[in-house]
């Protein structure tokens, strides 16, 4: 049963454009994450967000920024996309003090 | 920072046989080790995990072993079925409260009927 929702499923855009991806979780969790999965399936953490506070930013370029309206939502904005941004972006959530992270289905970004 | 190495990039087994995927980690402070499964075009689905206070955990056909001295952990899938075919990711994290997962590169498992 899906409890972490991501939109859109796919997005194709051109270099220099701005994009925004949405993530919503219905699990009542207080911490959300964004991961990037590249073409080789390598997964890397981008952001951790807890109660509207950015906890960790793992050397992500400044054109990426997380945006949260409440603890159930964490969006990802990319100001000016570059070809190397082509990837699948996965959102996840967890509850502080717990271990398991729940993942959404991902948003596939293609930059032409 | 933590680095997780996943040794098998691809693995093929015959239906009914066992599959073993091995991972190593570098940070002795890591204490939680989950495994995730990813089917084509889908997100990650949790399959099993192990914490550092135990060295073995089993859930039905899945067994996870942890060797803290060697900083190694492994996933054993017994009596494999075609639906086990997927990419499996191991990960490690520290008990910081807002733990980040450091993932291995994934193992593409194919179960041949």
The total number of residues shown for chain A amounts to: 112
pLDDT value of residue B98:
62
Task: Find the angle CA(A91)-CA(A93)-CA(A96) to the nearest 5 degrees.
Answer: 150
Nearest CB to B97; choose among A45, A92, A97:
A97
Of B24 and B97, more confident: B24
What average pLDDT does range A6-31 have in this prediction? 95
* Chain A residues in contact with B10 (beta carbon < 8 A): none
Residue-wise pLDDT for A92-109, tens only, equals 998 877 778 899 999 999
Written as six digits, the tokens of B19 are 């599959």
* Chain A residues in contact with B38 (beta carbon < 8 A): 41
In A, minimum Cα distance to B45 occurs at A103
Q: Mean pLDDT over all residues of chain B?
A: 94
Q: Mean pLDDT over all residues of chain A?
A: 91
pLDDT value of residue B94:
84
Percent of chain B beyond pLDDT 70? Answer: 96
Report chain B residues touching chain A, CB-CB < 8 A.
32, 34, 36, 38, 42-46, 49, 51, 87, 89, 93, 97-103, 105-106
Nearest CB to B43; choose among A40, A44, A106:
A106
Count other Cβ atoms within 10 Å, centred on residue B65: 17
In A, minimum Cα distance to B101 occurs at A45
What average pLDDT does range B23-33 have in this prediction? 94
DSSP-derived secondary structure letter, A54: E
pLDDT value of residue A55:
74
**Cβ(A25)–Cβ(A72) under 8 Å?**
yes
What average pLDDT does range B106-112 have in this prediction? 97
Indicate yes or no: CB of B51 within 8 angstroms of CB of A44: no
**A56 and chain B: CB distance < 8 Å anywhere?**
yes
- β-pair type (B10-14, B107-112): parallel
CA dist A36 and B32 (Å) reads 21
Nearest CA of chain B to the CA of A106: how many Å? 6
Indicate yes or no: CB of B34 within 8 angstroms of CB of A99: yes
CA dist A62 and A60 (Å) reads 6
Backbone angles phi, psi at B54, to 5 degrees: -135, 160
Q: Is it the case that residue A88 has pLDDT exceeding 80?
A: yes
Dihedral angle over CA of A20, B1, B27, B32, nearest 10:
-10
**CB-count exposure of residue B113 (10 Å: 0-12, 13-18, 19+):** exposed
pLDDT value of residue A1:
59
Q: Is it the case that residue B95 has pLDDT exceeding 90?
A: no
Residue A82: partners with Cβ closer than 8 Å, 6 or more residues away:
A15, A63, A111
**Cβ(B6)–Cβ(B21) under 8 Å?**
yes
Indicate yes or no: CB of A103 within 8 angstroms of CB of B44: yes
Of A50 and B34, more confident: B34
């Amino acid at each position: 049963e899906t409890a972490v929702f991501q939109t859109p499923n796919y997005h194709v855009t051109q270099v220099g454009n701005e994009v925004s991806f949405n993530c919503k979780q219905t699990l009542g969790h207080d911490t959300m994450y964004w991961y990037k999965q590249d073409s080789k399936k390598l997964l890397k953490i981008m952001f951790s967000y807890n109660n509207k506070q950015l906890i960790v930013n793992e050397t992500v370029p400044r054109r990426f920024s997380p945006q949260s309206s409440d603890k159930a939502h964490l969006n990802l904005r990319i100001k000016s996309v570059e070809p190397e941004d082509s990837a699948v972006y996965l959102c996840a959530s967890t509850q502080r003090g717990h271990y398991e992270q729940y993942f959404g289905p991902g948003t596939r970004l293609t930059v032409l | 920072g933590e680095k997780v190495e996943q040794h098998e990039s691809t693995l093929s087994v015959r239906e009914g046989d066992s599959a073993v995927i091995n991972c190593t980690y570098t940070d002795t402070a890591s204490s939680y080790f989950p495994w995730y499964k990813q089917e084509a075009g889908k997100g990650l689905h949790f399959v099993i995990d192990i914490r550092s206070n135990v060295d073995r955990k089993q859930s039905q056909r899945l067994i996870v072993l942890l060797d803290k001295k060697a900083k190694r952990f492994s996933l054993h899938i017994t009596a494999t079925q075609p639906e086990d075919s997927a990419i499996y990711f191991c990960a490690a994290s520290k008990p910081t409260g807002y733990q980040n997962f450091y993932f291995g590169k994934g193992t593409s498992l194919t179960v041949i009927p």
